[in-house]
Structure 1
């Protein structure tokens, strides 16, 4: 089954804790500190796999966690670094932060491998904290915490040209005729339920990749029908081929169809709607009308707007060569670089500097302070050591928590409670 979207949870590995220990050897009763450092936590890495073309692998498994680093050991033993976790995705996958929908990475072009979440650094063992005045440090640094995110994966196919048009106008037949693609073809609306990619090879000219975007209908940009599910796949295309049923075999008006498709593209993304377009007036082998030439009608309507019209037959092959060589020529005049979306969300910065809320309440004559950042800092800091406690006090001051307590009326000797821990307040 084709899958072009998925929502998954990713978590890097926590750094291993540093170790606090001392040399205990024969004839060395008071040996110095020899606690080793913790190992690095595993990274979460996304990598392009050219053999994949859907996100189906993420439909059944949604949580991906890297390993934690090993804690340090005695005798200066360094904890083992954890293995990274590598998630393979098809080329063209965009990774977005789920809450803001900002882009973390676009796995296309030169970007074939990206570290999205870094594992935590290992904590330092107590051998690093010995000084002239503190020769027996009992403090070892905890490992840096893991990072975690919910991300949306979104596949936008890599193609130079997008085929758009209403259902049943002959797009699949056209694609099968001009490329190596083998789409299913039948006389049903929405026969094509997946974007089909094909490569056009031209003698004496540069080939290109073409994508058949499943049939759009009026209201697709607002979620009507299935077309809106696939509009994202035209976002990377540099040029659009509008396929219309010039013969009107189902009673449709080809001029009206083109205006409706353009309206849907504009409603979805104005920039996409402004990209170069070509009209493929299909099914000319079925034109029998003697009253009005539908090809001339299309030309008189759209060529003054700068949109070329090519009469073609996907069944007989008539007119296809002229259309394809024209498209190849137009692409040569455009930027050859693929359309790559810029990064908007930087997990490292966002997760470290995020301004998490906290509350200060007076409950049973105690000042209760709670909040996610405080909870994380308590897990990160060794309060049993003098150094760790001083570090935590500095955090409380810089975060404005001490100021909030004073505004709430706290006095020296009052009790402060934070997640089960209680302290006496002193200035």
Structure 2
């Protein structure tokens, strides 16, 4: 999927259908001059329903479909005939989509399972026909219920990528290169900051045909929690990852300090992110000779509070060990 085809934020107007009116009808037939009330009920208005689809990865298909309307219920008729229900309209979304009320910013619901269906705008109930209102004291009621009106609202759909492992790091730390090596994904790779502007997903093949999903998130900069750089645009994608893989280049001036800055940005955006399992990969370690790596390892053993390992995407160094460690953490 090309970068321009990844859409993770869409605003829409949705409108359900009106309920049909109940019928006011008195039965008339040859030789039956006073057959009594027989007006049928109105049909239900159509719902607007959001449905989860596991084979969707983006909201691209909704980008230019900003208005969605369901069908109106038909009116009741004679002979106690009910009107037809209005046609329901389905909006298919990828798993991990959050639906908010645009005006209040309140979260209405989240779609996280394949085939999950939630009513976004409920169709109006059809009105009752006049035969419901007959009684011993009112045998020919000449009134019926109107249908309940439609429901309309403006909603915002946000996709938070569902992945097992999320790559976290500063711009140009080698995240896209790692994703291209460890999966079949083909992200854009270049030697300037913010090459990645949209999340990239890749499937990591493990032993015995087992797989897990890895997400390359655009680089974090200091102040991202306040909206600097790409700010909240990509931080929300990290919320759904099971494991956070911090990628810090071996030529960084202070590896521990970089890790602390990244962790602090996550904490300020959403403190719950610190509950996730974390691991550090020291990338571009092909720049280090054995002596330098041993010296750095001794230093990091005392400084880093979580597991770490040295990798090089270009030299394919430590990639197998990284897969093993990630798989072990995911299955614990």
CA RMSD in angstroms comes to 2.1
Which residue number in structure 1 is paired with residue 301 of structure 2?
299
Which residue number in structure 2 is paired with residue 58 of structure 1?
62
Inter-CA distance 87–233: structure 2 relative to 1 (3 Å threshold):
same
Q: How many Å apart are 1:294 and its aligned residue?
A: 3.5
Structure-to-structure mapping, 1:8-87, within 5 angstroms: 8-87=12-91
Q: Which runs of 4+ in 1 moved over 6 A?
A: 289-292
Which residue number in structure 1 is paired with residue 316 of structure 2?
317
Q: How many Å apart are 1:121 and its aligned residue?
A: 1.8
Question: 2:41–2:129: 8 Å Cα contact kept in structure 1?
Answer: yes
TM superposition score normalised by structure 1: 0.72
Which residue number in structure 2 is paired with residue 243 of structure 1?
247
Deviation digits for residues 306-340 of structure 1 (CA, Å, limit 9, x no counterpart): x111001010111111122111111111xxxxxxx
User: In structure 1, how many angstroms separate the alpha carbons of the residues matched to 2:209 and 2:168?
Assistant: 24
Q: Tell me, what secondary structure is at the counterpart of 2:108?
A: strand
Which residue number in structure 2 is paired with residue 384 of structure 1?
none
User: In structure 1, how many angstroms separate the alpha carbons of the residues matched to 2:34 and 2:261?
Assistant: 85
Q: How many Å apart are 1:290 and its aligned residue?
A: 6.9
Unaligned 5+ segments in structure 2 are none
Question: 1:41–1:66: 8 Å Cα contact kept in structure 2?
Answer: yes
Which residue number in structure 2 is paired with residue 264 of structure 1?
265
User: In structure 2, how many angstroms separate the alpha carbons of the residues matched to 1:32 and 1:174?
Assistant: 78
Aligned residues: 327
1:137 aligned onto 2:141: yes
TM superposition score normalised by structure 2: 0.92
Inter-CA distance 27–131: structure 2 relative to 1 (3 Å threshold):
same
User: In structure 1, how many angstroms separate the alpha carbons of the residues matched to 2:298 and 2:209?
Assistant: 29
User: In structure 1, how many angstroms separate the alpha carbons of the residues matched to 2:9 and 2:45?
Assistant: 28
Which residue number in structure 2 is paired with residue 422 of structure 1?
none
> Which of 210-219 and 49-58 deviates more?
49-58
User: In structure 1, how many angstroms separate the alpha carbons of the residues matched to 2:178 and 2:125?
Assistant: 55
Q: How many Å apart are 1:239 and its aligned residue?
A: 1.2
Q: How many Å apart are 1:124 and its aligned residue?
A: 1.1
Structure with higher RCO (Cα < 8 A, 6+ apart): 2
1:216 aligned onto 2:220: yes
Q: Tell me, what secondary structure is at the counterpart of 2:20?
A: coil
User: In structure 2, how many angstroms separate the alpha carbons of the residues matched to 1:184 and 1:233?
Assistant: 19
Unaligned 5+ segments in structure 1 are 334-427
